[in-house]
Amino acid sequence: MKLLGLNSPEIFIIFVILLSILGPKRIEKGFLLFKKLLKFLLSKDKDQRIANSEVKAKEAEESEVKEEIVESEVKAKEAEESEVKEEIVESEVTAMEAEESGVKEEIVESEVTAEEAEESEVKEEIVESEVKAKEAEESEVKEEIVESEVTAEEAEESEVKEEIVESEVKAEEAEEGEVKEEITEPEVKSIKPKKRTVKDEIIDVEVDSDN
């Protein structure tokens, strides 16, 4: 061990010389002063320890208070941040929902327009088919009516023709009968005088034979 470039034996020798120079009274006084210094230093240590403990307690309390304040501030900040985040999230969600609702409305509108177009096409096809069916039925009914009218007209014409033919036949027969009567009357008239002459001749011949 060295102190100021001196070895421990040299230091011991110097210490002994100083004690011999000072004497026993001064050594006792120095020892007492050393004790007082030690007590003072120890009291300072105790005071420092007490002060340190008090300071530590105060620091602990302050740290606890600071921690509580920091925690409250952090909680407040977190609450504010959470509220801000919730507001941001809600605004984003509302925006997303608005966009989704807009997209859904567009999709629904497109689907509705497509369905309406399909329904209109189907309705047009149904109407066309119904119109065609009605036209076919009307044409069939018209054909049936026309056929019935034609058959009725043909029947009427045939009946009229038959009546006309019958009337013509009757007229012709009547004319022929009149002509025959006119023809037969002079023949009968001519035949009757002939018969009378023959009878007269027969009568005359019989009369002559009687005579």
Instruction: Give the C-alpha separation, 194 to 186, whole Å.
Output: 12
Report which residue type is found at 161: K
Residue 30 class from Cβ within 10 Å (0-12 exposed, 13-18 middle, 19+ buried)?
middle
- What pLDDT is attached to residue 32? 84
> Which residues, 6 or more positions from 57, have their beta carbon under 8 angstroms from its beta carbon?
none
pLDDT for residue 187: 60
| 178-198 pLDDT, tens digit each | 777 777 766 656 665 655 666
The predicted model gives 42-46 an average pLDDT of: 67
State the pLDDT at residue 153: 78
pTM of the model: 0.29
Domain ranges for the chain? 9-57
CB of 27 within 8 A of CB of 35? no
Confidence class for position 150, pLDDT limits 50, 70, 90: confident
Give dist(CA 176, CA 182) in Å, integer: 10
In whole angstroms, give the CA distance from residue 4 to residue 16: 17
- Which residues are registered as beta bridge partners of 7? 2
**Cβ contacts of 8 within 8 Å, gap of 6 or more:** 1, 2
What is the band of 140 on the pLDDT scale with cuts at 50, 70, 90?
Answer: confident
**Cα–Cα distance for residue pair 134/128, rounded to 1 Å:** 9
48 pLDDT band, cuts 50/70/90, is low
Q: What is the pLDDT of residues 19-39, one digit of tens each?
A: 777 777 777 787 788 888 888
